[in-house]
Amino acid sequence: MADEGAVPRRGDRDRAEEGPAERGPGAAFHMFVLMEDLLDKLKLLSYEEEALRRHNMRPLSRHYFALPTNPGEQFFMFCTLAAWLISKAGHPFEQPQECDDPNAVISNVLSELRSFGRPVDFPPSKLKTGCGEQVCYVLDCLAEEALKHTGFSWKRPAYPTEEPEEEEITEDDAELTLSRLEEDVEEESDNEENYIDLNVLKAQTYRSNVNDTSKQEEILQSTTDAAEWNLEVERVLPQLKVTVRTDNKDWRIHVDQMHQHKDGIDSSLKETRGYLDKLHNEISRTLEKINSREKYINNQLEHLVQEYRSAQALLSEAKEKYQEGSGGVTERIRVLSEVTEALEKVKQETEEKGSSMTDGAPLVKIKQALTKLRQETIQMDIQIGVMEHTLLQSKVKEKSNMTRDMHATVIPEATVGVY
Protein backbone atom coordinates (compact mmCIF):
# COMPACT_ATOMS: atom_id res chain seq x y z
CA MET A 1 0.00 0.00 0.00
CA ALA A 2 2.99 2.30 -0.12
CA ASP A 3 2.64 5.34 -2.35
CA GLU A 4 5.09 8.23 -2.28
CA GLY A 5 2.64 10.75 -3.74
CA ALA A 6 -0.29 9.84 -1.50
CA VAL A 7 -1.76 12.34 0.95
CA PRO A 8 -1.77 11.45 4.68
CA ARG A 9 -5.04 11.13 6.46
CA ARG A 10 -6.66 14.26 7.80
CA GLY A 11 -7.05 12.94 11.36
CA ASP A 12 -3.34 12.14 11.59
CA ARG A 13 -2.40 15.60 10.34
CA ASP A 14 -4.74 17.29 12.83
CA ARG A 15 -3.41 15.26 15.74
CA ALA A 16 0.15 16.06 14.77
CA GLU A 17 -0.70 19.78 14.85
CA GLU A 18 -2.85 19.79 18.00
CA GLY A 19 -1.18 17.15 20.18
CA PRO A 20 -2.90 16.20 23.45
CA ALA A 21 -4.38 19.67 23.99
CA GLU A 22 -8.04 20.19 24.80
CA ARG A 23 -10.27 20.26 21.72
CA GLY A 24 -13.76 20.92 23.09
CA PRO A 25 -16.58 18.83 24.58
CA GLY A 26 -15.58 15.73 22.59
CA ALA A 27 -12.05 15.66 24.00
CA ALA A 28 -13.04 12.96 26.51
CA PHE A 29 -13.74 10.55 23.62
CA HIS A 30 -10.76 11.58 21.49
CA MET A 31 -8.46 9.03 23.11
CA PHE A 32 -10.75 6.16 22.00
CA VAL A 33 -10.48 7.30 18.38
CA LEU A 34 -6.74 7.81 18.84
CA MET A 35 -6.38 4.30 20.28
CA GLU A 36 -8.22 2.73 17.33
CA ASP A 37 -5.97 4.60 14.86
CA LEU A 38 -2.92 3.49 16.87
CA LEU A 39 -4.04 -0.13 16.71
CA ASP A 40 -4.43 0.09 12.92
CA LYS A 41 -0.93 1.54 12.59
CA LEU A 42 0.55 -1.15 14.84
CA LYS A 43 -1.10 -3.84 12.71
CA LEU A 44 0.40 -2.24 9.60
CA LEU A 45 3.80 -2.50 11.30
CA SER A 46 3.18 -6.21 12.17
CA TYR A 47 3.58 -5.61 15.89
CA GLU A 48 2.12 -9.01 16.78
CA GLU A 49 4.88 -10.95 15.01
CA GLU A 50 7.80 -8.62 15.76
CA ALA A 51 7.03 -7.22 19.25
CA LEU A 52 4.46 -9.35 21.10
CA ARG A 53 5.68 -12.84 20.26
CA ARG A 54 9.22 -11.95 21.30
CA HIS A 55 7.97 -11.01 24.80
CA ASN A 56 5.15 -13.60 24.93
CA MET A 57 2.36 -10.99 25.21
CA ARG A 58 -1.26 -10.97 24.16
CA PRO A 59 -2.56 -8.71 21.35
CA LEU A 60 -4.06 -5.34 22.30
CA SER A 61 -7.78 -4.71 22.45
CA ARG A 62 -9.48 -1.73 20.81
CA HIS A 63 -9.41 0.40 23.98
CA TYR A 64 -6.41 -1.11 25.80
CA PHE A 65 -4.61 2.19 26.54
CA ALA A 66 -7.82 4.25 26.75
CA LEU A 67 -9.28 2.62 29.88
CA PRO A 68 -7.41 1.80 33.13
CA THR A 69 -7.37 -1.96 33.85
CA ASN A 70 -3.97 -3.03 35.24
CA PRO A 71 -1.53 -0.08 35.66
CA GLY A 72 1.60 -2.22 36.01
CA GLU A 73 0.87 -4.38 32.96
CA GLN A 74 -0.24 -1.38 30.88
CA PHE A 75 2.90 0.61 31.75
CA PHE A 76 5.19 -2.31 30.83
CA MET A 77 3.29 -2.77 27.55
CA PHE A 78 3.64 0.98 26.86
CA CYS A 79 7.40 0.89 27.49
CA THR A 80 7.83 -2.23 25.33
CA LEU A 81 5.89 -0.82 22.37
CA ALA A 82 7.57 2.60 22.69
CA ALA A 83 11.05 1.02 22.62
CA TRP A 84 10.09 -1.18 19.65
CA LEU A 85 8.61 1.77 17.71
CA ILE A 86 11.67 3.95 18.38
CA SER A 87 13.92 1.17 17.10
CA LYS A 88 11.57 0.71 14.15
CA ALA A 89 11.88 4.44 13.38
CA GLY A 90 15.66 4.12 13.00
CA HIS A 91 16.86 5.29 16.43
CA PRO A 92 18.68 2.72 18.59
CA PHE A 93 16.86 2.22 21.90
CA GLU A 94 17.47 -0.37 24.61
CA GLN A 95 14.53 -2.58 25.50
CA PRO A 96 13.34 -1.67 29.04
CA GLN A 97 13.02 -4.30 31.77
CA GLU A 98 10.50 -4.60 34.60
CA CYS A 99 13.13 -3.70 37.21
CA ASP A 100 14.13 -0.41 35.50
CA ASP A 101 13.33 2.99 36.98
CA PRO A 102 10.00 4.23 35.48
CA ASN A 103 11.09 7.88 35.59
CA ALA A 104 14.28 7.14 33.65
CA VAL A 105 12.41 5.11 31.02
CA ILE A 106 9.78 7.85 30.58
CA SER A 107 12.42 10.58 30.27
CA ASN A 108 14.29 8.55 27.61
CA VAL A 109 11.09 7.97 25.61
CA LEU A 110 10.12 11.66 25.76
CA SER A 111 13.61 12.74 24.74
CA GLU A 112 13.39 10.45 21.70
CA LEU A 113 9.94 11.88 20.91
CA ARG A 114 11.31 15.42 21.05
CA SER A 115 14.16 14.39 18.77
CA PHE A 116 11.53 13.52 16.14
CA GLY A 117 10.23 17.11 16.38
CA ARG A 118 7.03 16.22 18.24
CA PRO A 119 5.76 18.65 20.94
CA VAL A 120 5.47 17.39 24.53
CA ASP A 121 3.32 19.79 26.57
CA PHE A 122 2.31 17.50 29.47
CA PRO A 123 4.13 16.36 32.63
CA PRO A 124 5.95 12.99 32.49
CA SER A 125 3.91 11.71 35.46
CA LYS A 126 0.91 11.34 33.12
CA LEU A 127 2.62 8.33 31.52
CA LYS A 128 3.17 6.38 34.77
CA THR A 129 -0.41 5.09 34.81
CA GLY A 130 0.12 3.32 31.49
CA CYS A 131 -3.20 4.60 30.06
CA GLY A 132 -4.84 7.82 29.01
CA GLU A 133 -4.71 10.29 26.15
CA GLN A 134 -1.04 11.14 26.70
CA VAL A 135 0.01 7.47 26.38
CA CYS A 136 -2.03 7.09 23.18
CA TYR A 137 -0.56 10.33 21.83
CA VAL A 138 3.06 9.25 22.44
CA LEU A 139 2.56 5.81 20.87
CA ASP A 140 0.63 7.28 17.93
CA CYS A 141 3.43 9.77 17.18
CA LEU A 142 6.07 7.02 17.40
CA ALA A 143 3.97 4.77 15.14
CA GLU A 144 3.74 7.55 12.54
CA GLU A 145 7.51 8.02 12.65
CA ALA A 146 8.01 4.27 12.24
CA LEU A 147 5.65 4.24 9.23
CA LYS A 148 7.55 7.15 7.69
CA HIS A 149 10.88 5.36 8.21
CA THR A 150 9.56 2.20 6.55
CA GLY A 151 8.34 4.25 3.56
CA PHE A 152 4.63 3.70 4.17
CA SER A 153 2.03 6.30 3.21
CA TRP A 154 -1.73 6.30 2.98
CA LYS A 155 -3.46 5.89 -0.38
CA ARG A 156 -6.73 7.39 -1.41
CA PRO A 157 -9.64 4.98 -0.86
CA ALA A 158 -10.70 3.02 -3.94
CA TYR A 159 -14.42 2.29 -3.85
CA PRO A 160 -15.58 -0.83 -5.74
CA THR A 161 -18.15 -0.41 -8.47
CA GLU A 162 -21.40 -2.09 -7.59
CA GLU A 163 -23.16 -3.97 -10.37
CA PRO A 164 -26.95 -4.30 -10.23
CA GLU A 165 -27.98 -7.79 -9.32
CA GLU A 166 -30.29 -9.60 -11.70
CA GLU A 167 -33.21 -11.25 -10.05
CA GLU A 168 -33.51 -14.87 -11.00
CA ILE A 169 -37.06 -16.09 -10.99
CA THR A 170 -37.75 -19.79 -10.97
CA GLU A 171 -40.92 -20.82 -12.68
CA ASP A 172 -41.72 -23.46 -10.06
CA ASP A 173 -41.82 -21.13 -7.02
CA ALA A 174 -42.39 -17.69 -8.51
CA GLU A 175 -44.99 -18.23 -11.24
CA LEU A 176 -48.59 -18.95 -10.45
CA THR A 177 -51.46 -19.42 -12.77
CA LEU A 178 -54.69 -17.54 -12.24
CA SER A 179 -56.52 -20.66 -11.30
CA ARG A 180 -53.95 -21.54 -8.63
CA LEU A 181 -54.05 -17.97 -7.31
CA GLU A 182 -57.84 -18.13 -7.08
CA GLU A 183 -57.58 -21.42 -5.20
CA ASP A 184 -55.17 -19.89 -2.70
CA VAL A 185 -57.46 -16.90 -2.19
CA GLU A 186 -60.43 -19.20 -1.65
CA GLU A 187 -58.45 -21.27 0.87
CA GLU A 188 -57.43 -18.12 2.76
CA SER A 189 -61.03 -16.92 2.85
CA ASP A 190 -62.17 -20.35 4.08
CA ASN A 191 -59.53 -20.33 6.81
CA GLU A 192 -60.37 -16.82 7.92
CA GLU A 193 -64.13 -17.41 8.13
CA ASN A 194 -65.29 -19.25 11.23
CA TYR A 195 -68.64 -20.41 9.78
CA ILE A 196 -70.43 -20.62 6.38
CA ASP A 197 -74.13 -20.16 5.71
CA LEU A 198 -75.55 -23.26 3.98
CA ASN A 199 -78.19 -21.30 2.03
CA VAL A 200 -75.54 -18.94 0.63
CA LEU A 201 -73.40 -21.95 -0.29
CA LYS A 202 -76.32 -23.59 -2.13
CA ALA A 203 -77.04 -20.39 -4.04
CA GLN A 204 -73.39 -20.07 -5.03
CA THR A 205 -73.22 -23.69 -6.23
CA TYR A 206 -76.45 -23.25 -8.21
CA ARG A 207 -75.12 -20.12 -9.94
CA SER A 208 -71.81 -21.82 -10.66
CA ASN A 209 -73.60 -24.80 -12.21
CA VAL A 210 -75.75 -22.52 -14.39
CA ASN A 211 -72.66 -20.60 -15.50
CA ASP A 212 -70.84 -23.85 -16.29
CA THR A 213 -73.71 -25.17 -18.42
CA SER A 214 -73.99 -21.86 -20.27
CA LYS A 215 -70.24 -21.80 -20.85
CA GLN A 216 -70.34 -25.39 -22.12
CA GLU A 217 -73.15 -24.53 -24.56
CA GLU A 218 -71.22 -21.47 -25.71
CA ILE A 219 -68.12 -23.54 -26.21
CA LEU A 220 -70.02 -26.13 -28.15
CA GLN A 221 -71.52 -23.43 -30.35
CA SER A 222 -68.23 -21.44 -30.67
CA THR A 223 -67.07 -20.34 -34.12
CA THR A 224 -63.58 -19.11 -33.00
CA ASP A 225 -60.64 -20.16 -35.14
CA ALA A 226 -58.12 -22.38 -33.33
CA ALA A 227 -55.10 -20.61 -34.82
CA GLU A 228 -56.35 -17.22 -33.70
CA TRP A 229 -57.07 -18.67 -30.28
CA ASN A 230 -53.51 -19.99 -29.94
CA LEU A 231 -52.05 -16.67 -31.09
CA GLU A 232 -54.14 -14.83 -28.52
CA VAL A 233 -53.07 -17.26 -25.81
CA GLU A 234 -49.40 -16.78 -26.68
CA ARG A 235 -49.83 -12.99 -26.62
CA VAL A 236 -51.60 -12.89 -23.27
CA LEU A 237 -49.63 -15.65 -21.56
CA PRO A 238 -46.69 -13.45 -20.35
CA GLN A 239 -49.17 -11.03 -18.81
CA LEU A 240 -50.88 -13.85 -16.89
CA LYS A 241 -47.67 -14.72 -15.03
CA VAL A 242 -47.77 -13.53 -11.40
CA THR A 243 -44.40 -13.06 -9.71
CA VAL A 244 -44.54 -13.59 -5.94
CA ARG A 245 -41.43 -12.63 -3.99
CA THR A 246 -40.81 -14.55 -0.81
CA ASP A 247 -40.99 -12.34 2.27
CA ASN A 248 -39.34 -13.53 5.47
CA LYS A 249 -41.97 -11.67 7.49
CA ASP A 250 -44.84 -13.62 5.93
CA TRP A 251 -46.71 -15.70 8.50
CA ARG A 252 -47.01 -18.64 6.09
CA ILE A 253 -43.24 -18.98 5.94
CA HIS A 254 -43.07 -18.83 9.73
CA VAL A 255 -45.75 -21.53 10.02
CA ASP A 256 -43.88 -23.75 7.55
CA GLN A 257 -40.67 -23.25 9.49
CA MET A 258 -42.44 -24.11 12.73
CA HIS A 259 -43.79 -27.32 11.21
CA GLN A 260 -40.34 -28.21 9.85
CA HIS A 261 -38.73 -27.60 13.23
CA LYS A 262 -41.45 -29.61 14.95
CA ASP A 263 -40.90 -32.55 12.60
CA GLY A 264 -37.14 -32.30 13.16
CA ILE A 265 -37.62 -32.23 16.94
CA ASP A 266 -39.97 -35.21 16.82
CA SER A 267 -37.57 -37.25 14.70
CA SER A 268 -34.61 -36.31 16.91
CA LEU A 269 -36.62 -37.10 20.04
CA LYS A 270 -37.48 -40.56 18.75
CA GLU A 271 -33.78 -41.29 18.21
CA THR A 272 -32.57 -39.80 21.49
CA ARG A 273 -35.37 -41.18 23.68
CA GLY A 274 -33.98 -44.68 23.37
CA TYR A 275 -30.49 -43.51 24.35
CA LEU A 276 -31.90 -41.51 27.26
CA ASP A 277 -33.95 -44.46 28.52
CA LYS A 278 -30.91 -46.70 28.28
CA LEU A 279 -28.82 -44.14 30.16
CA HIS A 280 -31.53 -43.79 32.81
CA ASN A 281 -31.62 -47.54 33.35
CA GLU A 282 -27.84 -47.72 33.65
CA ILE A 283 -27.77 -44.85 36.13
CA SER A 284 -30.54 -46.40 38.24
CA ARG A 285 -28.72 -49.76 38.32
CA THR A 286 -25.49 -48.01 39.26
CA LEU A 287 -27.24 -46.13 42.09
CA GLU A 288 -28.71 -49.39 43.40
CA LYS A 289 -25.26 -50.97 43.37
CA ILE A 290 -23.81 -47.97 45.20
CA ASN A 291 -26.55 -48.13 47.87
CA SER A 292 -26.05 -51.85 48.42
CA ARG A 293 -22.27 -51.43 48.55
CA GLU A 294 -22.65 -48.57 51.02
CA LYS A 295 -24.84 -50.68 53.29
CA TYR A 296 -22.35 -53.55 53.13
CA ILE A 297 -19.44 -51.24 53.97
CA ASN A 298 -21.38 -49.74 56.89
CA ASN A 299 -22.12 -53.20 58.29
CA GLN A 300 -18.51 -54.31 57.91
CA LEU A 301 -17.05 -51.16 59.49
CA GLU A 302 -19.52 -50.81 62.38
CA HIS A 303 -17.00 -51.80 65.06
CA LEU A 304 -14.42 -49.42 63.58
CA VAL A 305 -16.98 -46.63 63.67
CA GLN A 306 -17.65 -47.36 67.34
CA GLU A 307 -13.94 -47.28 68.09
CA TYR A 308 -13.63 -44.01 66.21
CA ARG A 309 -16.48 -42.49 68.21
CA SER A 310 -14.92 -43.59 71.52
CA ALA A 311 -11.58 -42.17 70.40
CA GLN A 312 -13.31 -38.91 69.53
CA ALA A 313 -14.87 -38.79 73.02
CA LEU A 314 -11.47 -39.41 74.67
CA LEU A 315 -9.93 -36.73 72.47
CA SER A 316 -12.58 -34.20 73.49
CA GLU A 317 -11.99 -34.99 77.19
CA ALA A 318 -8.23 -34.60 76.72
CA LYS A 319 -8.80 -31.27 74.98
CA GLU A 320 -10.95 -30.06 77.89
CA LYS A 321 -8.29 -31.07 80.42
CA TYR A 322 -5.65 -29.38 78.32
CA GLN A 323 -7.68 -26.19 78.20
CA GLU A 324 -8.15 -26.26 81.98
CA GLY A 325 -4.43 -26.86 82.54
CA SER A 326 -3.47 -24.17 80.08
CA GLY A 327 -5.78 -21.75 81.91
CA GLY A 328 -4.03 -22.48 85.23
CA VAL A 329 -0.64 -22.13 83.61
CA THR A 330 -1.54 -18.73 82.18
CA GLU A 331 -2.77 -17.56 85.60
CA ARG A 332 0.46 -18.68 87.26
CA ILE A 333 2.50 -17.05 84.51
CA ARG A 334 0.65 -13.78 85.20
CA VAL A 335 1.34 -14.05 88.96
CA LEU A 336 4.99 -14.84 88.24
CA SER A 337 5.30 -11.77 86.04
CA GLU A 338 3.80 -9.59 88.81
CA VAL A 339 6.21 -11.04 91.41
CA THR A 340 9.12 -10.52 89.00
CA GLU A 341 8.14 -6.88 88.49
CA ALA A 342 7.95 -6.33 92.30
CA LEU A 343 11.35 -7.99 92.75
CA GLU A 344 12.85 -5.77 90.05
CA LYS A 345 11.49 -2.69 91.82
CA VAL A 346 12.98 -3.81 95.18
CA LYS A 347 16.34 -4.51 93.53
CA GLN A 348 16.33 -1.08 91.92
CA GLU A 349 15.52 0.65 95.24
CA THR A 350 18.24 -1.35 97.04
CA GLU A 351 20.79 -0.42 94.40
CA GLU A 352 19.83 3.24 94.67
CA LYS A 353 20.18 3.23 98.49
CA GLY A 354 23.52 1.39 98.34
CA SER A 355 24.88 3.80 95.76
CA SER A 356 23.70 6.77 97.84
CA MET A 357 25.39 5.35 101.00
CA THR A 358 28.74 4.71 99.34
CA ASP A 359 28.75 7.87 97.31
CA GLY A 360 30.62 10.93 98.86
CA ALA A 361 28.98 13.48 96.68
CA PRO A 362 26.25 14.36 99.24
CA LEU A 363 28.92 15.01 101.94
CA VAL A 364 30.80 17.31 99.63
CA LYS A 365 27.57 19.13 98.85
CA ILE A 366 26.87 19.52 102.59
CA LYS A 367 30.35 20.96 103.21
CA GLN A 368 29.94 23.38 100.36
CA ALA A 369 26.57 24.41 101.74
CA LEU A 370 28.06 24.97 105.25
CA THR A 371 30.86 27.08 103.77
CA LYS A 372 28.33 29.12 101.85
CA LEU A 373 26.22 29.55 105.02
CA ARG A 374 29.29 30.77 106.98
CA GLN A 375 30.09 33.31 104.29
CA GLU A 376 26.52 34.48 104.23
CA THR A 377 26.53 34.70 108.12
CA ILE A 378 29.66 36.87 108.03
CA GLN A 379 28.10 39.14 105.45
CA MET A 380 24.93 39.39 107.53
CA ASP A 381 26.97 40.24 110.68
CA ILE A 382 28.77 43.01 108.79
CA GLN A 383 25.48 44.37 107.51
CA ILE A 384 23.99 44.21 111.03
CA GLY A 385 27.02 46.09 112.46
CA VAL A 386 26.72 48.77 109.84
CA MET A 387 23.02 49.08 110.52
CA GLU A 388 23.62 49.32 114.33
CA HIS A 389 26.29 51.96 113.80
CA THR A 390 23.99 53.95 111.53
CA LEU A 391 21.15 53.64 114.02
CA LEU A 392 23.39 54.70 116.93
CA GLN A 393 24.56 57.73 115.00
CA SER A 394 21.01 58.68 114.21
CA LYS A 395 20.04 58.35 117.91
CA VAL A 396 23.04 60.43 119.10
CA LYS A 397 22.28 63.08 116.53
CA GLU A 398 18.67 63.15 117.55
CA LYS A 399 19.61 63.43 121.21
CA SER A 400 22.04 66.27 120.54
CA ASN A 401 19.40 68.06 118.56
CA MET A 402 16.92 67.70 121.41
CA THR A 403 19.48 69.02 123.93
CA ARG A 404 20.28 71.98 121.75
CA ASP A 405 16.66 72.77 121.34
CA MET A 406 16.09 72.60 125.09
CA HIS A 407 18.96 75.00 125.90
CA ALA A 408 18.04 77.38 123.15
CA THR A 409 14.45 77.78 124.25
CA VAL A 410 13.83 80.78 126.81
CA ILE A 411 10.65 80.64 128.86
CA PRO A 412 9.32 84.13 129.96
CA GLU A 413 8.89 84.70 133.76
CA ALA A 414 5.31 86.03 133.48
CA THR A 415 4.37 82.87 131.75
CA VAL A 416 5.99 80.78 134.46
CA GLY A 417 4.08 82.62 137.18
CA VAL A 418 0.77 81.95 135.60
CA TYR A 419 1.49 78.24 135.75
Residue 71 near residue 129 (C-beta atoms within 8 A): yes
At 339 the pLDDT is: 93
Which phi and psi angles does 280 have, rounded to 5°? -65, -45
At 64 the pLDDT is: 85
What mean pLDDT is reported for the chain? 77
CA atoms within 13 A on the CB side of 250: 8
d(CA 208, CA 201): 10
Q: What is the DSSP string of 115-146?
A: HTT----S-GGGGTTS-SHHHHHHHHHHHHHH
Q: Which amino acid belongs to residue 414?
A: A
Q: What percent of the chain has pLDDT over 70?
A: 74
Which phi and psi angles does 175 have, rounded to 5°? -105, 135
More confident residue, 278 or 201: 278
Cβ neighbours of residue 135 closer than 8 Å, sequence gap 6 or more: 65, 74, 78, 126, 127, 129
d(CA 286, CA 83): 63
Distance of CA 174 to the CA centre of its chain: 57
- In this model, does residue 230 exceed pLDDT 70? yes
At 416 the pLDDT is: 47
Cα angle 54, 86, 81 (rounded to 5 degrees) comes to 45
d(CA 109, CA 104): 9
Provide mean pLDDT across the span 148-169: 66
Q: What percent of the chain has pLDDT over 90?
A: 19
Provide mean pLDDT across the span 117-144: 86
At 1 the pLDDT is: 42
At 145 the pLDDT is: 87
- In this model, does residue 163 exceed pLDDT 80? no
Cα angle 187, 193, 198 (rounded to 5 degrees) comes to 95
List pLDDT tens digits, range 1-44. Answer: 444 333 344 444 444 444 434 456 666 777 788 888 888 888 88
Q: Which helix (H) or strand (E) holds 207?
A: helix 198-220
- In this model, does residue 411 exceed pLDDT 60? no
Range of weakest confidence among 108-122, 148-162, 251-265, 307-321: 148-162
Range from 26-35, 94-103, 282-291, 404-413 that averages highest in pLDDT = 282-291
List pLDDT tens digits, range 240-285. Answer: 766 656 566 677 888 888 999 999 999 888 888 888 999 999 999 9
